[in-house]
Amino acid sequence: MLNNQSLRSVPDSVSRCVERVLIPDHGKDISSLDRKDAEIKADITHALWKDNVLRVLGYREIDVRVKDGVVNFTGYITNSSSQSRIKNAIRSIPGIVEVRNHLILDDKLTLDIAAALGVLEGTYHCKFFTGVNYGVASIGGTVKDWKIRALAEKCASENPNTRGVINHIKVSGSEPRLRELPFLQPAIEEPIYFLDWVFGVVKKVVINPNNRRVIAMLVRGKFPEPPNEAKPRVEGDPPIQERFIVIPMETVRHLTRVSGFLNIKSRERNRYSAFDPGLFTIPPIEWTPPYPYCPSDVLFLVENHEKDI
């Protein structure tokens, strides 16, 4: 049984990505100790579900990992009250040695982003409105030009705990731009299906560092090479080799935690492109990727190639 002394928060500097490497997937448990950890995880998930408030507030947004009885929580919760409810929910679960808390509070992140935007408000004599939902920041208001709008978006994205920024800021005297795409985060190593049921596996995501949102995904699969498109395949042709393609997020119809579905067919080659390593770069070592991604999951577009996506 867990006691109060065992409950502690771990500083944000602890890398969730290191934990992801060190803590195995319990879908492949082979030892009795691993099975015990899997049972603890199942008990925790059930306990969070049983709490009426946590169930409504999205307990599934909390990632639970257990290794040798040590529980690691990552993800986002609404406020400190939710954090207390988590502690109370799991207090009587046997086998827990320690709880390491990496959870980010939406209300605190809202205040931090609002404080950062306050500097721009004083400089450009405008007012921004900020809200955060599971780490995704929405910013609104009215400014006098597009430069200020872009600065506000970048400012909100500079907080390493920001999962992504949805920009609703209006520019005085300008026609509204096209409606922003929904906030989407395809899962790494999960399948993505075209309308004709050809599929590939997500290997990396391409992120815009100015708003921390995924703009495309790098997918590996057995896709025919473009020169073969006009020539039907016949028996005896060599097998199709695996290759990488870049699929923009605007083609995504639906995402789940374990798969994704596109609104295009695999032969619509004008809607995606072959992967060209020269168009992409890896993020700077000091840059923190948005949850739930790790540095090895992310690519940036090389400057001046945004139009390619």
List of domains in the chain? 4-102 (no CATH), 106-171 (3.30.70), 191-308 (no CATH)
Residue carrying structure tokens 């059930």:
46
Q: What is the pLDDT of residue 16?
A: 58
Given a contact cutoff of 8 angstroms between Cβ atoms, the answer to whether 66 and 99 are in contact is no
Looking at residue 59, what is its pLDDT? 76
For residue 242, the model assigns a pLDDT of 87
Query: Rounded distance, CA 47 to CA 73, Å?
Result: 14
Name the band, by pLDDT with cuts 50, 70 and 90, for residue 283.
very high
Lowest mean pLDDT among 48-57, 172-181, 215-224: 172-181
Specify which residues 254 forms β-bridges with: 261
Q: Looking at residue 11, what is its pLDDT? A: 46
pLDDT at 51 exceeding the cut of 80 = yes
Q: How confident is the model at residue 6 (pLDDT cuts 50, 70, 90)?
A: very low
Closest residue by Cα to residue 219 from 197, 198, 239, 204: 204
What does the pLDDT look like over 22-39, one tens digit per residue? 555 544 545 566 889 999
User: What average pLDDT does the structure give for the chain?
Assistant: 85
- pLDDT tens, position by position, 101-137: 999 999 999 999 999 999 999 999 999 999 999 999 9
CB contact set of 253 (below 8 Å; sequence gap of 6+)? 261, 262, 263
262 pLDDT higher than 80: yes
CA angle at 97 for the pair 73 and 12, rounded to the nearest 5°:
35
